A and B are shown apart, each in its own frame.
Chain A
Amino acid sequence: MKNVRLFYKKTGLARFVSHLDTMRCMTRLLRRANLDVWYTEGFNPHLYITFAMPLSLGMTSEYEIADIRFNDDGATLDGVCEKLNENSPEGFHFFAASEPVKKLSELKFAKYKAEFSDGGALKEKLEKFLSSGEISIEKKTKKGEIKTIDVAPDIEKFSLEAGDETTLDITLPAGNDKTVKPELIINKFLSQADPECYYKITRTLLLDGEKMPLK
Chain B
Amino acid sequence: MEKAVFEKMLSRVQKPGRYCGGEINSAVKDRRKVSVRFAFCFPDTYEIGMSHLGIKILYSIFNEREDIWCERVFAPLDDMAKEMKENGVPLFALESRDSIKDFDFIGFTLQYELSYTNVLYMLDLAGVPLRAKDRDENAPIVVAGGPCACNAEPLAGFTDIFFLGEGEKVDLEVIDLYKECKKSGWNKKEFLRKAAQIEGVYVPSIYDVEYNADGTVRAINARDGAPEKVQKRIENDMDKAYYPEKFIVPSVEIVHDRAVEEIFRGCIRGCRFCQAGYIYRPVREKSPDVINRQARSLIKSTGYDEISLSSLSTSDYRRLEELLVKMLSWCDEEKVSLSLPSLRIDNFSEELLEKVSSVRKSGLTFAPEAGTQRLRDVINKNITEEEIMRSCTTAFRGGYSSVKLYFMMGLPTETDEDIVGIADLAGRIVDLYYSLPDRKKGMAVSVTISVANFVPKPFTPFEFEPQISREEMIRRQALLKESIKSRKITFNYHENRTSFLEGVFARGDRRLADVVERAYKSGCRFDGWDEFFNLEKWLAAFEGCGIDPAFYTARTREFDELMPWDHLDYAISKDFLIRENKKAHGGKTTPNCREKCALCGANTFGEGVCFEKRQTVL
Contact = CB atoms under 8 A, between A and B. Distances in A.
B7 A28 contact: no
A44 B360 contact: yes
Contact of A21 (B10, B253, B301, B335): B253
A22 to B, nearest CB: 8
A13 B16 CA distance: 9
B257 to A, nearest CB: 8
B545 interface: no
A52 B209 CA distance: 66
Contacts of B251: 14, 17, 21, 25, 89
A90 B22 contact: yes
A27 interface: yes
Interface string A21-37: 10011011111101000
B305 A13 contact: no
B96 to A, nearest CB: 13
A91 interface: yes
B252 A18 contact: yes
A60 B22 CA distance: 16
Given A32-B303, A89-B249, 18 more contacts: A12-B22, A13-B20, A13-B21, A16-B10, A17-B20, A17-B252, A24-B257, A27-B303, A27-B305, A28-B24, A28-B302, A29-B303, A30-B303, A32-B300, A45-B335, A47-B335, A58-B11, A90-B21
Contacts of B11: 58, 198, 200
Interface in B86-144: none
Contacts of B24: 28-29, 32, 87-89
Contacts of B305: 27-28, 31, 46-47
A165 B304 CA distance: 42
A39 interface: yes
Contacts of A200: 7, 11
B385 interface: no
B421 interface: no
Nearest to A44: B360
Contacts of B17: 16-18, 21
A18 to B, nearest CB: 7
Interface string A87-112: 11111000000000000000000000
B8 interface: yes
Contacts of A18: 17, 252
A25 B20 CA distance: 15
Contacts of B22: 12-14, 89-91
A151 B63 CA distance: 53
B23 interface: yes
Contact of A28 (B8, B20, B303): B303
A24 B302 contact: no
A30 B335 CA distance: 13
Contacts of A39: 335
Nearest to A24: B253
Nearest to B250: A21
Contacts, number: 75
Nearest to A198: B8
Interface residues of B, number: 26
Contact of B303 (A16, A31, A45): A31
B399 to A, nearest CB: 12
Contacts of A28: 24, 249, 302-305
A12 B301 CA distance: 24
A94 B24 CA distance: 16
B252 A21 contact: yes
A67 B119 CA distance: 45
A30 B7 CA distance: 28
B307 to A, nearest CB: 12
A13 B301 CA distance: 23
A85 B441 CA distance: 49
B296 to A, nearest CB: 13
A89 to B, nearest CB: 5
B246 to A, nearest CB: 10
Interface string B287-312: 00000000000001111110000000
Contacts of A91: 22
B181 to A, nearest CB: 36
8 contacts: A17-B20, A20-B253, A24-B253, A27-B305, A31-B303, A89-B24, A90-B22, A200-B11
B382 to A, nearest CB: 36
Nearest to A13: B20
Interface string B7-34: 1101100001101111110000000000
Contacts of A34: 300
Contacts of A25: 249, 251
Contacts of B23: 89-90
Interface string A148-182: 00000000000000000000000000000000000
A91 B335 CA distance: 27
A45 B300 CA distance: 18
A57 B302 CA distance: 24
Contacts of B7: 13, 200
A87 B335 contact: no
B306 to A, nearest CB: 11
Contact of A16 (B4, B16, B253): B16
3 interchain residue pairs of minimum CB distance: A90-B22, A28-B303, A31-B303
A111 to B, nearest CB: 21
Contact of A32 (B4, B20, B253, B302): B302
A195 to B, nearest CB: 13
Contacts of A44: 360
Contacts of B300: 32, 34
Nearest to A57: B16
A80 B566 CA distance: 60
Contacts of B301: 32
Contacts of B257: 24
A91 B257 CA distance: 21
A198 B10 CA distance: 12
A12 B303 CA distance: 23
Contacts of A57: 16
Contacts of A89: 22-24, 249, 251
B32 to A, nearest CB: 21
Contact of A13 (B4, B10, B303): B10
B22 to A, nearest CB: 3
Contacts of A90: 21-23
A45 B331 CA distance: 13
Q: Which of A13, A17, A30, A90 has the most chain B CB atoms closer than 10 A to its own CB?
A: A13
